[in-house]
Amino acid sequence: MNEQERIVALRAELHRHNHNYYVLNQPTISDQEFDALLRELQDLEARHPELFDPNSPTQRVGSDLSNEFQTFRHTRPMLSLANTYNKEEVREYYERVREGLQGEPFEICCELKFDGLSISLHYEDGRLVRAVTRGDGEQGDDVTANVRTIRSIPLQLASPADSSSSPSTSAPSASSSNLFSRDSIAVPWPREFEIRGEILMPWTSFEALNREREAREEPLFANPRNAASGTLKSKQTSVVAERHLDAYLYYLLGDNLPAEGHYENLLHARSWGFKVSDAMRKVHTLQEIYDFIDYWDTARRDLPVATDGIVLKVNDLRQQRALGMTAKSPRWAIAYKFQAEQQSTILREVTFQVGRTGAVTPVANMDPVQLSGTIVRRATLHNADFMAQLDLHLGDHVLVEKGGEIIPKIVAVDTTFLTPDRGPRVEFIRRCPECGAELVRFEGEAAWYCPNDSHCPPQIKGRIEHFVSRRAMNIDTLGPETIDDFYNRGLIRDIADLYELNVDQLNGAHGERQRSASKTIQAIADSRQVPFERVLFALGIRFVGEQMAKILARSFKNIDALSRARLDDLLQINGVGQAIAESVIRWFQDADNIFLLERLRAHGLQFQLSEDVLAAQSDRLAGQSVVISGVFSHHSRDEYKALIEQHGGKNVGSISKKTSFILAGENMGPSKLEKAQKLGILILSEDQFLAMIEE
Q: Is 253 a residue that touches ligand IVH (CB under 6 A)?
A: no
- The residue among 630, 670, 674, 691 whose CA lies nearest residue 66 is 630
| Residue 502, CA atoms < 13 Å, CB-side half-sphere | 1
Q: Is 113 a catalytic residue?
A: yes
Q: State the minimum distance, in angstroms, from the CB of residue 74 to ligand IVH.
A: 12
Please check whether residue 11 is in contact with residue 179, taking contact to mean a CB–CB distance below 8 angstroms: no
Selected from 61, 79, 317, 693, the binder of ligand IVH by CB under 6 A is 79
Q: Give the three-state DSSP class for 365.
A: strand
Q: Is 141 a residue that touches ligand IVH (CB under 6 A)?
A: no
Q: How many CB atoms lie within 10 A of CB 563?
A: 17
Of the candidate spans 78-86, 260-268, 294-302, 403-411, the one that interacts with ligand IVH by CB under 6 A turns out to be 78-86
- Phi and psi, residue 630, nearest 5°: 100, -170
Selected from 34, 93, 206, 250, the binder of ligand IVH by CB under 6 A is 250
Selected from 333, 350, 655, 662, the binder of ligand IVH by CB under 6 A is 333
Of the candidate spans 51-59, 329-337, 401-409, 654-662, the one that interacts with ligand IVH by CB under 6 A turns out to be 329-337
Nearer to ligand IVH, 330 or 531 (CB): 330
Q: Is 469 a residue that touches ligand IVH (CB under 6 A)?
A: no
Q: x/- site string to ligand IVH, residues 499 to 528, per CB under 6 A?
A: ------------------------------
Of the candidate spans 330-338, 458-466, 530-538, 603-611, the one that interacts with ligand IVH by CB under 6 A turns out to be 330-338
Please check whether residue 477 is in contact with residue 523, taking contact to mean a CB–CB distance below 8 angstroms: yes
Please check whether residue 544 is in contact with residue 524, taking contact to mean a CB–CB distance below 8 angstroms: no
Q: Is 80 a residue that touches ligand IVH (CB under 6 A)?
A: yes
* CB-based closest residue to ligand IVH: 118
Selected from 7, 23, 37, 81, the binder of ligand IVH by CB under 6 A is 81
Q: State the minimum distance, in angstroms, from the CB of residue 264 to ligand IVH.
A: 16
Q: State the minimum distance, in angstroms, from the CB of residue 84 to ligand IVH.
A: 12
Q: Is 311 a residue that touches ligand IVH (CB under 6 A)?
A: yes
In the chain, what are the helix, strand and coil shares in percent, each to the nearest 5?
40, 20, 40
Q: Is 387 a residue that touches ligand IVH (CB under 6 A)?
A: no
Q: Is 266 a residue that touches ligand IVH (CB under 6 A)?
A: no
- Round to the nearest angstrom and report the end-to-end CA distance of the chain: 59
Q: Is 330 a residue that touches ligand IVH (CB under 6 A)?
A: yes
- What residues are paired with 236 via a beta bridge? 66
- The residue among 209, 212, 204, 242 whose CA lies nearest residue 227 is 209
Strand order in the sheet with 650-652: 650-652, 625-629, 661-664, 682-684
Q: Is 479 a residue that touches ligand IVH (CB under 6 A)?
A: no
Q: State the minimum distance, in angstroms, from the CB of residue 661 to ligand IVH.
A: 38
Helices and strands, number each (H, E), in the chain: 26, 22
Which among 113, 402, 461, 550 is annotated as catalytic? 113
Q: Is 132 a residue that touches ligand IVH (CB under 6 A)?
A: no
Please check whether residue 650 is in contact with residue 575, taking contact to mean a CB–CB distance below 8 angstroms: yes
Cα separation, 305 vs 397, in Å, equals 31
Exposure string over 609-621, b if 16+ CB within 10 A, otherwise e: beeebeeeeeeeb
Q: How many residues bind ligand IVH (CB under 6 A)?
A: 15
Nearer to ligand IVH, 306 or 549 (CB): 306
Cα separation, 155 vs 58, in Å, equals 11
Continuous segment of H or E residues that includes residue 593:
helix 591-602
96-115 residues in contact with ligand IVH (CB under 6 A) are: 111, 113-114
Nearer to ligand IVH, 147 or 548 (CB): 147
What is the identity of the amino acid at 676? A
Calculate the CA 419 to chain-centre distance: 45
Nearer to ligand IVH, 54 or 77 (CB): 77
Catalytic annotation, residues: 113
Residues at the site binding ligand IVH, with contacts judged by CB under 6 A: 79-81, 111, 113-114, 118, 134, 198, 250-251, 311, 330, 333, 335
